[in-house]
A and B are shown apart, each in its own frame.
Chain A
Amino acid sequence: MRPVDWAVLVLTLLSIVGYGIYKGRGSSTVRSYLLADKQMRWYTVALSIMATQASAITFTSTPGQAFVDGMRFVQFYFGLPLAMIILSATAVPIFHKLNVYTAYEYLEYRFDLKTRTLTSIIFLASRGLAAGMTIYAPSLVLSVMLGIDIRITSTMIGGAIIVYTTTGGVKAVNWTDFQQMLIIMSGMVIAFGMTIALLPDDISFVDALHVAGGMGKLNTVDFSLDFSNRYNFWSGIIGGMFVALAYFGTDQSQVQRYLTGKSVTQSRLGLMFNAVAKIPMQFFILLLGAMVFVFYQFTAPPLFFNPVESERIKTGPRAGTYVQLEMEHERQIDEKAASLRRYLAAREHGTPEEVAHAKEEIAMAQKKGEAIRNSALEVLKAANADANDTNYIFLTFVTKFLPAGLVGLIFACIFAASMSSTSGELSALATSSVIDVYKRHFRQEADERHYLLVSRLSMAGWGVYGILFAQYASRLGSLVEAVNILGSLFYGTMLGVFLVAFYLKRISGTPVFWGALISEAVVFSLFLLEQAGLVSVAWLWYPVIGCIVVITMAGLIHGILSRREPVRGQ
């Protein structure tokens, strides 16, 4: 990065912290600190929801995903608008009516204290680990791309968040989310424009779309009913709806965003905006990745996008093989560019046979390219290197080809995205720690100042924990992946508990509590059996299984208990 890029990055970060402190001033009561006095308008709620959901990895990895796998990932979001409608019609009026601080507080009104405590502890355990990862993952990518120590990047992200969340509370979180989302979207629109401008002079935007489409990167909709295919229309509309219901309906980091709405209407409008804007936004980011892919069809990309791993392999014992593959890769890019130009010319003036022949040529060139890259990945794996470079594709393009100033802006966008999702998580963790655990179980009667102080300390404490996790996560090795899997072990149970609460009104607290415990036992058993190689269930299915077990077991236990009660009465 050049000095002007550093200036843009530092100024943007300072403006976020300054804006957060300014907007969060006057948070002198617990209600103001944790619920922003319930005075937020729909547009702040809407952008805060979107900013919390969009982590830094969304913006580093999504364009890379389109580069590698095409745009089919957009289908994952097809169920989101349906989930937004369900939550807007059911959860929002209930939460507002009861004036709760957390989603789990509602469970005490609906069921009992033990069910509330169990779900809030599940949330704190799973989201607590995820919050560490939310700082760790972008800190690692940024440290590699900027060439600075991960301790500096994680402290920059975490430190800035601690300053404004601790002073301004949720008001600061919501307003900075709003500002961060505007920065992120502006950066992405400018990056998209620059990518199109950087295409060779003889390649127009429409040509670029034809190249991307011809090479299978615009695969936005797949109606085939194939359960082994992770992203198709059906898995998106059904599975995506389940995931969105669990995330937006039971995760305090999202519930807290719409609880700050001035009224039911303002909260509902915030969710409806997300329902309308999320899919086009994801489509746009994926299209940016597809355009970066087209750009790299005419300009040789690095054989492997992680510069640190690439450099390491070139100085190790496998350097000869790797450099040989790099040379083959560069020659192959020139051949592919020539066949792509022939394809575009055939499309313009040629016969259908000439178009088909040119397409075959491209397919062959693509296969050859993939074979070279796969050989390179084998070399990397043999050297115990991290062979996944999806997160580095877009940022490599940014640092190598975008002009001074804009590089700083894009890195500022990544920092902003990381801060927006992490600040939402920290405020949710602090709120649940204070309201569901401390206030409910340890100190029920204390004055406002005491709870405000505990809330600030909790916010700062979770922030420091996030930074420390990020700094030591690399030493955990494969445990980092386990942390991600760990989250999926809890989501299904939480969704099941809330679905019973909303829709099965006759079922009381005890059956749900035991249903939740049985569900966790089943999911953990499956996980352990999977680890031992005795069963084969992909961890993405754990939330669905957990949810079904809670509902079924709660129903069964309710049936047994209600049959016993009349007997006792006799």
Chain B
Amino acid sequence: MTMLTQDSQGNANQSEAPPILGSWRNLYAAVVVLLGFLVLLFYAFMKIFS
């Protein structure tokens, strides 16, 4: 496991805040909201054109 021991030194494994929305929690919430929006959009799309 020599290679692994070397690798585990000095790797950037800390997570910073995402570049948008301030925190990961907010970004995950935004992704869930977007998913809901897409589902509703697809539903409206289906209803309008059928």
Which residue numbers of A lie inside 8 Å of B, CB to CB? 30-31, 38, 74, 78, 81-82, 84-85, 88-89, 93, 96-101, 105, 209-210, 212-214, 216, 218-221, 233, 262-265, 268-269, 272, 275-276, 279-280, 283, 439, 444-445, 451
Q: Which residues of B contact A451 (CB under 8 A)?
A: 3
Given contacts A99-B11, A212-B49, A269-B18, are A221 and B39 in contact (CB under 8 A)?
yes
Chain B residue nearest to A214 (CB atoms) is: B50
Q: CA–CA, A59 to B16, complex, Å?
A: 36
Distance, CA A269 to CA B42, complexed state (A): 25
CB-CB under 8 A for A262 and B12, given A268-B18, A445-B2, A451-B3: yes
| B18 with A218: CB separation less than 8 A | no
Closest CB in chain B relative to A75 CB, distance in Å: 9
User: Which residues from B are CB-within-8-Å of A445?
Assistant: 2
Please, how many residues of chain B have a CB less than 8 angstroms from a CB on the other chain? 30
Residues of A within 8 A of B31 (CB): 81, 84-85, 272, 275-276
B13 touches which of A85, A93, A216 (Cβ 8 Å): A93
Do the beta carbons of A30 and B15 come within 8 Å of each other?
no
- Selected from B16, B19, B42, B43, the residue in CB contact (under 8 A) with A263 is B16
**Whole-angstrom distance from the CB of A499 to the nearest CB of chain B?**
19
Could you say which residues of chain B place their CB within 8 Å of the CB of A31? 3, 7
Cβ of A280: which chain B residues have Cβ within 8 Å of it? 38
Inter-subunit contact B46/A96 (CB<8 Å) = no
Residues of chain B contacted by A96 (CB below 8 angstroms): 11, 13
Nearest chain A CB to B36 CB, angstrom units: 10
B46 touches A219 (CB 8 A): yes
Instruction: Flag if B45 contacts A85 (CB, 8 Å).
Output: no
25 contacts between A and B (CB under 8 A): A31-B3, A74-B42, A78-B35, A81-B31, A85-B28, A97-B13, A98-B8, A100-B4, A209-B49, A210-B49, A212-B49, A218-B49, A219-B46, A220-B45, A221-B39, A263-B14, A264-B15, A265-B15, A265-B16, A268-B15, A269-B19, A275-B31, A279-B35, A283-B42, A439-B3
